[in-house]
């Protein structure tokens, strides 16, 4: 009934609603990142950082160490680079989706460059909390958090936009969400990032992801045949 009613409406209500939601998400992410970056510039400590670090690391165990190392590995530059190449090959040979390939590369590659620029702009040192792995470079915003948000977020967008059954879409989307959250928690657990780094990485990654998706949707819109 709802679908029939929506088909009778000439105004593209679903794209309009999604556009508004995307705008609100981007605005919220920009606000969060701006608030965090302001405190970093003023060198003000975040009260929630040590509280969250202590809470996460209180669950330390050899088994959980292995789980967190797995999550941090699937968010590394090497892993994302390999997965990006696989994803682009799949888009070309299975879907013949040239524009999807282009924007997938732009999203992940551009996100990595943006993260490097932001790190060098703020130059926040990493926490000195007996890290379980070696990490180089500056801390804010987290490259793992930002990269996972962009990569797995873009995969989630491709799945939602596909013609798969709703149950499969939900399953894949939840899997990508678990990967994004797990990667962020792993960086705190392993002692190489503050929680504020993770939140900033997610925020910056979300803004960049939404920009890339909006640009790709604009390309699809202008390339579709007109009646």
CA distance 216 to 162: 14
For the chain, strand residue ranges (E) read none
Per residue in 182-196, pLDDT (tens digit) is 999 999 999 899 999
Q: What is the DSSP string of 8-26?
A: H--S-HHHHHHHHHHHHHH
**Model pTM?**
0.88
Per residue in 42-84, pLDDT (tens digit) is 888 888 999 999 999 888 899 999 999 999 999 988 999 999 9
Out of 7-11, 53-57, 104-108, 201-205, which region has the weakest mean confidence (pLDDT)? 7-11
CA distances for 158 relative to 23, 90, 103, 169, 217, angstroms? 19, 12, 11, 10, 11
* Residue 15 pLDDT: 59
């Amino acid at each position: 009934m709802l679908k029939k009613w929506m088909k009778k409406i000439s105004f593209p209500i679903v794209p309009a609603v999604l556009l508004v939601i995307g705008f609100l998400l981007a605005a919220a992410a920009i606000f969060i990142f701006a608030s965090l970056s302001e405190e970093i510039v003023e060198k003000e400590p975040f009260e929630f950082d040590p509280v969250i670090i202590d809470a996460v690391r209180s669950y330390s165990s050899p088994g959980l160490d292995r789980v967190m190392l797995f999550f941090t590995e699937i968010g590394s530059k090497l892993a994302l680079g390999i997965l990006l190449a696989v994803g682009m090959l799949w888009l070309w040979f299975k879907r013949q989706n040239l524009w999807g390939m282009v924007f997938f590369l732009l999203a992940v590659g551009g996100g990595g460059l943006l993260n490097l620029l932001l790190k060098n702009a703020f130059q926040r040192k990493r926490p000195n909390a007996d890290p379980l792995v070696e990490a180089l470079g500056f801390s804010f915003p987290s490259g793992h958090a930002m990269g996972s948000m962009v990569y797995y977020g873009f995969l989630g967008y491709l799945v939602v936009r596909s013609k798969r059954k709703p149950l499969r879409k939900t399953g894949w989307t939840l899997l990508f969400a678990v990967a994004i959250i797990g990667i962020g928690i792993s960086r705190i657990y392993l002692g190489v990032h503050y929680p504020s780094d993770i939140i900033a990485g997610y925020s910056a990654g979300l803004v960049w992801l939404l920009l890339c998706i909006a640009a790709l949707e604009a390309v699809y819109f202008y390339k579709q045949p007109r009646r």
